[in-house]
Structure 1
Amino acid sequence: MVTRVPEVLLRHRIRIEPYLADTAYGPTYGPPVEAVPALVDPSPRMARAPDGREFTAAATFIAAPDLDCPLGSRITLPDGRTATATTIARHTAPGLPVPACTEVTTE
């Protein structure tokens, strides 16, 4: 039974700088995590942020179900563009033979 998305399907590598907090000088980030396996869809599409506003996603990617990527994290995509994690969805299907994964939409 498949319990998580197989890493062989995660063909891209991204860089994640986890969002920590806002300060008087702007957002602060934790140490970057390099070469995170992901499958990136660079196609722009309409998405909705947790606060209800609509935006055009810069890219969407899936990664391992245990991905540590808080909202607001800075993502460097395979093509070198930098984006911000705007929505995060953890997909699971306990008892079904489908892989669990984390889906992140960036702005």
Structure 2
Amino acid sequence: MAGIPQWLYIQTGQDIVIEPYVGAGPFGDTYGPATVVRCIVDERRRLVRDATGDTVVSETTVYCPLTVAAPPGSRVTLPDGRVSVVLTSSRGDGGRLPVPSHLEVAVR
């Protein structure tokens, strides 16, 4: 499986912090351990469908390696310090095809 080339993450990527959503607990939402991930950040506003199927506005899209876990509801700290929530994430897995496999994460 060929992913986005590592040199592209190094040259144009930015570090973000992802805290994967684990579930709702008695004191609110719970998150997994924070992980710093090198991703490509696209600060372009667009409409996406969230986990419930509603159309919402995503302020930022992040392209990460497929090994990253970022289910809807996860907390993301962007390079500028903004803390946001994952609206939806989708795997772009090309398998054996020569296309860049990645995880596309739309955040609020």
Same fold by TM-score greater than 0.5: yes
Residue 6 of structure 1 is matched in structure 2 by 5
1:16-40 Cα distance to aligned partner (Å, 9 max, x none)? 1111111232111111112x01001
Whether the 8 Å CA contact 1:58–1:83 is kept in 2: the answer is no
Stretches of structure 2 that go unaligned for 5 or more consecutive residues are: none
Give the gaps of 5 or more residues in structure 1: none
Distance in 2 between residues matched to 1:41 and 1:87, nearest whole Å: 15
Instruction: Determine the structure 1 residue equivalent to 2:48.
Output: 47
Given the two structures, how large is their TM-score scaled by the length of structure 2?
0.89
For 1:99 and 1:15, how far apart are their aligned partners in 2?
22
- Could you tell me how far 1:70 is from its partner in structure 2? 2.0
Aligned length: 105
Correspondence 1:90-105 to 2 at 5 A: 90-105=91-106
Of the three residues 24, 27, 35, the one matched with 1:33 is 35
**CA deviation profile, 1:34-82 (whole Å, cap 9, x unmatched):** 2x01001112211111211111102101110111122211000111111
RMSD (Å) for aligned C-alpha atoms: 1.4
Identity over aligned pairs, percent: 35
Q: In the aligned structure 1, how far is the partner of 2:23 from the partner of 2:96? A: 37
Structure 1 partner of 2:18: 16
